[in-house]
């Protein structure tokens, strides 16, 4: 059934003052669908150095999925059963690949000065993501529930106590480390990663330095050098 | 993981052990089975009843690329100290970074 009520018509044309309408208008003006899910990228993106960001994301997904399995079944399984040891190793090695890809991504973005063109927040969310990932990996080493984790925790506690944070970040407290590793820190990394990707979508992939020199430094060169 | 059986003389097994190869047999009463060092080649004996020098059939396990369960070796230059595994990872990352810049990216079919 169609309606001709004027108030509904106002809502549909986007001029409603409801908070949902305002959020929608703000979202669509900030990140329209063609920017959120683009099907074309600038020509300079056709380089292997631009692949490492999405490789990091792929490794992150494997970490999340394998970690989910480990958390449901527990250490008695992943230390003894062959499948459990495989998933445990998958979790470990995907973390290694995650950091390898992320650091190469970082090197690439650093040398192309990826904070140019109002992308400082994109760069800083990457920095926060890197630091949060370090904390997540560190707590992960502490919750292996083996002699390696005991060694790491008792080596680390002296340093952390020396800087005065041992009282509320106790690396010898397995329960605290497990909750930080499986709940808080992955949530922080996940949220910051999504924010980082949305910022990349909004501002576009940073162009090479020489490409910017030929164009407006603020304006994306997406339109001018798009792959056709 | 076992490779297909290969003929190995008892002398060869003893020599491997003396060279530092870990030799382990399926049966416990093999005189030359033992762990001479932390090397990783494992030889599993099948028929231990023959005389010394006779050719026998063994299953030879694959040799792992690295002993990831053992202690890492360290390299040091003055104040700088780094483990070999960490050095290898860093070198691989630098290699990947250089290759990512140098290697051409495959073109999209639509744009060829």
Question: Using the beta-carbon criterion (under 8 Å), do B100 and A228 form an inter-chain contact?
Answer: no
Angle at A14 between CA A12 and CA A16, to 5 degrees: 90
Q: How far apart are CA A32 and CA A202, in angstroms?
A: 9
Specify if A17 maps to a domain. no
pLDDT digits (tens, 9 = 90+) for A68-119: 999 999 999 999 999 999 999 999 999 999 999 999 999 999 999 999 989 9
What does the pLDDT profile of chain B (112 residues) look like in tens digits? Answer: 444 444 444 444 444 545 444 444 443 334 444 433 333 334 444 444 443 333 444 444 456 666 777 788 899 999 999 999 899 999 999 999 999 999 999 877 665 5
Residues of B with Cβ-Cβ distance to A227 under 8 angstroms: 108, 111
* A222 DSSP assignment: T
Same domain, A147 and A104: no
Specify if A18 maps to a domain. no
Specify if A54 maps to a domain. yes
Specify if A138 maps to a domain. yes
Same domain, A157 and A106: no
Question: Do B58 and B7 form a contact (C-beta atoms < 8 A)?
Answer: yes
Same domain, A47 and A100: yes
Q: Which two tokens stand for residue B73?
A: 């070796």
Q: Which two tokens stand for residue A193?
A: 């990663």
Q: How far apart are CA B102 and CA B95, in angstroms?
A: 10
CA-nearest residue to B89 within chain A is A100
pLDDT band at A65 (very low <50, low <70, confident <90, very high): very high
Helical pair A82-111 and A120-142, crossing angle rounded to 10 deg? 150
Beta bridge partners of B76: B81
| Beta strand extents in B1-112 (DSSP E only) | 6-9, 22-23, 34-35, 43-45, 55-60, 74-77, 80-83
Exposed e or buried b per residue across A11-49, where buried means at least 16 C-beta atoms within 10 angstroms of its C-beta: eeeeebeeeebeeeeeeeeeeeeeeeeeeeebbbbeebb
CA distance B97 to chain A (A): 6
Question: Using the beta-carbon criterion (under 8 Å), do A48 and B92 form an inter-chain contact?
Answer: no
CA distance A101 to chain B (A): 8
Specify if A61 maps to a domain. yes
**Residue A171 pLDDT greater than 50, yes or no:** yes
Specify if A13 maps to a domain. no
Q: How far apart are CA B15 and CA B8, in angstroms?
A: 11
User: Locate tokens 């792959």: which residue?
Assistant: A227
- Count residue pairs from A and B with Cβ separation < 8 A: 32
Residue of A43, A44, A48 to mutate, interface with B, max B Cβ within 10 Å: A48
pLDDT of amino acid A15: 67
Q: How far apart are CA A159 and CA A171, in angstroms?
A: 11
Same domain, A195 and A159: yes
State which residues form the domain around A54. Answer: 43-112
What percentage of chain A exceeds 70 in pLDDT? Answer: 86
pLDDT band at A216 (very low <50, low <70, confident <90, very high): very low
Count of domains in chain A? 2
Question: Using the beta-carbon criterion (under 8 Å), do B100 and A47 form an inter-chain contact?
Answer: yes
Instruction: Please state the domain extents for chain B.
Output: 6-60, 74-103
Question: Using the beta-carbon criterion (under 8 Å), do B96 and A51 form an inter-chain contact?
Answer: no
- Is ipTM beyond 0.85? no
pLDDT of amino acid A221: 43
Specify if A126 maps to a domain. no
Q: How far apart are CA A122 and CA A52, in angstroms?
A: 16
């Amino acid at each position: 059934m169609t309606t001709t009520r004027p108030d509904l018509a106002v809502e549909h044309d986007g001029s409603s003052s409801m908070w949902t309408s305002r959020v929608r208008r703000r979202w669509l003006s900030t990140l329209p669908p063609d920017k959120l899910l683009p099907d074309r990228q600038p020509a300079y993106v056709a380089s292997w150095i631009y692949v490492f960001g999405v490789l990091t994301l792929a490794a992150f997904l494997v970490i999340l999925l394998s970690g989910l399995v480990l958390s449901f079944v527990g250490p008695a399984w992943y230390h003894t059963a062959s499948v459990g040891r495989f998933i445990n190793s998958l979790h470990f090695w995907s973390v290694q690949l995650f950091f390898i890809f992320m650091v190469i991504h970082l090197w690439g973005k650093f040398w192309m000065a990826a904070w140019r063109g109002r992308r400082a927040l994109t760069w800083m969310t990457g920095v926060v993501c890197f630091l949060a990932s370090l904390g997540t990996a560190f707590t992960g080493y502490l919750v292996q529930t083996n002699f390696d984790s005991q060694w790491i925790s008792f080596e680390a506690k002296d340093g952390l106590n020396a800087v005065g944070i041992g009282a509320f970040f106790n690396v010898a407290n397995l329960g605290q480390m497990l909750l930080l590793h499986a709940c808080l820190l992955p949530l922080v990394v996940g949220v910051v990663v999504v924010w980082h990707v949305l910022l990349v979508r909004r501002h576009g992939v940073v162009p090479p330095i020489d490409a910017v020199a030929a164009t407006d430094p603020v304006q994306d060169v997406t339109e001018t050098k798009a792959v056709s | 993981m076992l490779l297909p059986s290969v003929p190995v003389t008892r002398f060869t097994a003893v020599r491997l052990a003396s060279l530092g190869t870990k030799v382990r047999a399926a049966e416990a009463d093999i005189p030359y089975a033992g762990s001479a060092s932390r090397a990783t080649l494992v030889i599993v004996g099948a028929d231990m009843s023959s005389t010394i020098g006779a050719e026998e059939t063994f299953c030879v396990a694959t040799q792992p690329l690295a002993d990831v369960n053992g202690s890492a070796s360290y390299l040091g230059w003055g104040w700088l100290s780094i483990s070999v595994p960490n050095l290898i990872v860093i070198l691989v990352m630098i290699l990947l970074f250089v290759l990512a810049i140098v290697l051409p990216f495959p073109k999209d079919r639509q744009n060829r």
